[in-house]
A = this chain, B = another copy of it.
Amino acid sequence: MSRFLAACRGEEVDRPPVWIMRQAGRYLPEYRRLRQQAGSFFALCTNPHLAAEATLQPLRRFPLDAAIIFSDILLPLQALGVEVAFSENGGPRLPAPLTTPQQWARLAPSNSWDSLSFVGQALAQVRRHLPPEVALIGFCGAPWTLACYLLEGRGSSDWAQARRAAYQAPEELGRLLQTLGQAMGDYLVWQVRAGAQAVQVFDSWAGVLPADLYQALVVPALQRLLEQLEGLGVPRILYLGQGQHLLGAVRHLPLEVVSVDWRTPLAYAAQATGKGVQGNLDPAVLFAPPEEVIHRTRQMLRSAPPRGYIANLGHGIWPETPVEGVEAFLHAVRESP
């Protein structure tokens, strides 16, 4: 039985399960070699064997309780007819962002993920190689976070254009979010059929919106996304970046676990949502001396609820992270309680 899946369901476990957001990544020398071999990030994502290998690498090195399929939240936009360019530096770009409500309205929800068959193949391949007690997580971007990229075409720290759109054209933007919610729910169901045993929805940029706007615009789209997974027996995790003020808004959504960042106290998140919680060590902590990493990890574990808790970072691990920091973090979780 998987410790991870049990904790997602709120069952009693011997110790908190643990995995690391972006655990297949550049902080691992073997990942850097694989990426070099693949030639590019895009080539690595779209080759099912290489994507499966990237997914499995951290599991060979560390005793983690879950694997997360190696992919990117923007890839499925291609199945919706939107071109995405993955440059090696500076993150992904959309050469033709959708800036007008007319353009948003033309975005069609896809029901076919054939063009992403490499994701399905990688999921199946990873599942075959994982021991039964290690769970496999599928994922997608949340409607708001995807809309941010769709509207602006590239990363931003404040998402000014997307926020303007939320006040200037809330109805049209709401329909775009619904389309994205419909499509991403379908995409996750497809991932579950291919082998994913849990799903995580990344709303990395949730926190730039105030709660009333998030409730009015984003929550209905998340509802549409998450309810498609109802009855599949697959735990649903929602990552809320910068989202302490949004916990009340997600309380009634059909999901099992809220994943919070390093600024949102775990106990507060559990109480405010009534859900399981995941997180939330600051990825910056892993650069401290191992004793300090262990001290701060223990502090985090003490602050977590006794059930329905999954240990993780509060954000994706940084590329420069020393492996010793990761080892100290995992050691502290595994020796608990």
Contact = CB atoms under 8 A, between A and B. Distances in A.
Interface residues of A, number: 28
Contact of A287 (B168, B210, B244, B296): B168
Interface string A203-230: 0000111110000000000000000000
Given A211-B265, A263-B207, A288 B168 contact: yes
A164 B242 contact: no
B167 A287 contact: yes
B211 A285 contact: no
Interface centre among A163, A208, A210, A288 (most CB of B within 10 A): A210
A153 to B, nearest CB: 17
Interface in A249-306: 262-265, 282, 284-285, 287-289, 292, 296
Contact of A157 (B157, B282, B296): B157
Contacts of A262: 210
A318 B157 CA distance: 14
A166 interface: yes
B284 A164 contact: yes
A265 B245 contact: yes
Nearest to A321: B164
A282 B210 contact: yes
A85 interface: no
A160 interface: yes
Contacts of A209: 263
Contacts of A285: 167
Given A167-B292, A245-B244, A160 B284 contact: yes
Given A242-B242, A318-B160, A167 B284 contact: yes
Contacts of A282: 163, 167, 210
Interface in A152-173: 157, 160, 163-164, 166-168
Interface string A36-63: 0000000000000000000000000000
A19 to B, nearest CB: 21
Nearest to A159: B284
A273 to B, nearest CB: 16
Contacts of A284: 160, 163-164, 166-167
Nearest to A287: B164
A129 to B, nearest CB: 33
Q: Which 6 A-B pairs have CB atoms at the shortest separation, nearest pair first?
A: A157-B157, A163-B284, A167-B288, A164-B287, A164-B284, A245-B263
Interface of A: 157, 160, 163-164, 166-168, 207-211, 242, 244-245, 262-265, 282, 284-285, 287-289, 292, 296, 318
21 contacts: A160-B284, A163-B282, A164-B284, A164-B287, A166-B284, A167-B282, A167-B285, A167-B292, A167-B296, A207-B242, A207-B263, A209-B263, A210-B262, A210-B263, A211-B263, A211-B265, A242-B242, A242-B263, A244-B245, A245-B263, A245-B264
Given A163-B284, A167-B284, A210-B263, 10 more contacts: A160-B318, A163-B282, A167-B288, A167-B296, A168-B287, A168-B289, A209-B263, A211-B263, A242-B242, A245-B265
